[in-house]
């Protein structure tokens, strides 16, 4: 099947399976989503969701976090792993939001990636889900794995994968593409033993890199 046609069919089937999607990270505003997404690096969303209520209770926004004691922030985010770097980056990002952007999270890719700890994936997630702005496709571990297995890309470089996905889908679908791949990657096309026998994409999947 031609790649463009397969990409559309994958989207349509997954959309029927998941008619309503939303980020798994609990948040109430753009700043909370950014913080949660930074904490989710090398950590599960479920664990992050156990940490952020206390984090946001103590330091609700960038103004409070920018002035927080580093050791206290580290203690709260410790369960998410790599807590030294995560705490340092989040506090530095909070200070930059206050000093450069007047306390308001910026709404462009170019500005968001100037925040410490924020790369394209995090920026795409925030832009799409908090602001309805689609500047790219967030490529996390699930999107990366499924894009390769499904033949939507031949690369394992996240920047190349993002460009490939952007070329295959219209801009208005870019945010949804990430959600659908993440959902399916968690339920069916899992990392170690993908459930190919029960996969509703099996007839159009080239199974790239799948040996079992």
Catalytic residue numbers read: 121, 140
Burial class (CB in 10 A: 0-12, 13-18, 19+), 85: middle
Cβ neighbours of 42 (radius 10 Å): 10
Burial class (CB in 10 A: 0-12, 13-18, 19+), 20: exposed
Contacts of the segment 167-175: beta carbons below 8 A, 24+ positions apart: 168/3, 168/4, 168/7, 169/7, 169/11, 169/137, 171/134, 172/134, 173/11, 174/124, 174/128, 174/134, 174/136, 174/137, 175/124, 175/128, 175/129, 175/134, 175/137, 175/138
Token pair 């460009």 is at which residue? 163
Structure tokens given for 34 = 């950014």
19 Cβ contact partners less than 8 Å away, ≥ 6 residues apart: none
């Amino acid at each position: 099947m031609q790649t463009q046609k397969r990409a559309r069919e994958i989207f349509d089937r997954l959309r029927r399976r998941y008619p309503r999607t939303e980020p798994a990270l609990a948040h109430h505003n753009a700043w909370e989503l950014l913080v949660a997404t930074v904490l989710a690096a090398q950590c599960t969303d479920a664990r992050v969701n156990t940490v952020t209520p206390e984090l946001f209770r103590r330091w609700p926004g960038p103004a409070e976090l920018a002035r927080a004691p580093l050791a206290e922030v580290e203690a709260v985010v410790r369960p998410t792993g790599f807590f030294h770097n995560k705490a340092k980056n989040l506090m530095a990002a909070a200070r930059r939001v206050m000093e450069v952007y007047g306390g308001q999270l910026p709404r462009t890719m170019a500005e968001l990636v100037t925040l410490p700890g924020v790369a394209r994936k995090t920026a795409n997630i925030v832009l799409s889900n908090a602001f309805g702005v689609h500047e790219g496709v967030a490529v996390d571990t699930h999107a990366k794995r499924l894009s390769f297995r499904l033949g939507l890309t031949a690369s394992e470089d996240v920047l190349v994968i993002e460009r490939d996905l952007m070329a295959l889908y219209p801009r208005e679908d870019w945010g949804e593409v990430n959600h659908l791949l993440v959902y399916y990657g968690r339920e069916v096309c899992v990392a170690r033993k993908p459930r190919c026998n029960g996969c509703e994409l099996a007839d159009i999947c080239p199974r790239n890199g799948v040996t079992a």
